[in-house]
Structure 1
Amino acid sequence: MIRIRLGKRKYVGDGGETTRPHAFLVRQLTGWDPTMSEHDVYDAARGWWKLSDRAEREQYAAIVGDGVVRMVVEIDEWATNDERRGFAGTVLQPGHPVRDALVGRDDPVPTTSRNPIAYFRHDLEAGICRCGCGERVPSGDWVQGHDQRALHQLINDEFGGSVSRFLDWYEDAAAARG
């Protein structure tokens, strides 16, 4: 999950962004204050941020204002403007377990860093291992080592346990794709 900590509300108006105007996110305000509407907070949180590619692997954004989580957004889409990123998504409503676990609570990444961006894992983000063992994984698709277990099971089932036959098949398939 990505945490975005908003500073004090600031009016940026038309063209006040640090990046070129972009149809994906045109906004009048950045930051946060308690008088802002949910829509204004959502737009202020969406971007434009200096983010690594890692951000695009995150499913949720926890938006923090004045040290408290104010909203959680399920991220649906990313856009780039110059060297910055912005996102769009759905503001989670009461009754959603991730929203209910975070909104109204203290910043989940307490730090003295001035960087408003941080990453963290929440228990509710855990998925189920893809190998079928039923174990929960805090991030990614596999319990450690289970990706190898699944790969070797595939080689056993489809290629009689022969890694050489699997590699020959893979190379042929790659060559056919061009």
Structure 2
Amino acid sequence: MKTHLSTAIRLTLVMLVLLVVIYPLVVAGIARLAPGSGKGETVTVNGKIVGYKLIGQAFTQDRYFNGRPSAVDYNAAGSAGSNKGPSNPDYLKTVQARIDTFLVHNSTVQKSAIPAELVTASGSGLDPDVSPTAAKIQNARIAKIRGLSAERLNQLVDEQTKGPLLGLFGPSTVNVLALNIALDTLK
């Protein structure tokens, strides 16, 4: 019995040192090699931080492209979905409210044409990207407010579109923050 107890205590101490001290230090060291040194990759404009590359944010002004809604108000510390199923009445009310708001701000769009990603939150609540279709459907609103042509906005969305990984894996995406920064630089 003493042999087993002694072995268990030694194993516990070794695992404690390994998992509480050594492993976190190794992970922190590897994170230092990542872009942003493990603190997140910030996006700066004129020396001012305007956001993070991989975390979505709310754009509430009609002069900007909207991203995907967030169930956690884009709070990276509380990354999560709503956990409400597609038949949940509260969830359906939330989605309907988002559809109604989208239609008020984009009066030229038919309800059936709204991409689901513009009215439903993602699992993380932090998606920084939308599909090119979701971006382009907002062109009429932005063109009218900014006095730009829809063709120029289509070209801008195409310039900001990133294709699938290796041309095969995943959909084409547009980073909404990068798109809005590029939009602000248009003359």
TM-score > 0.5 by shorter chain:
no
More strand by share: 1
- TM-score by length of structure 1 reads 0.28
More helix by share: 2
- TM-score by length of structure 2 reads 0.27
- Which is greater in Rg? 2
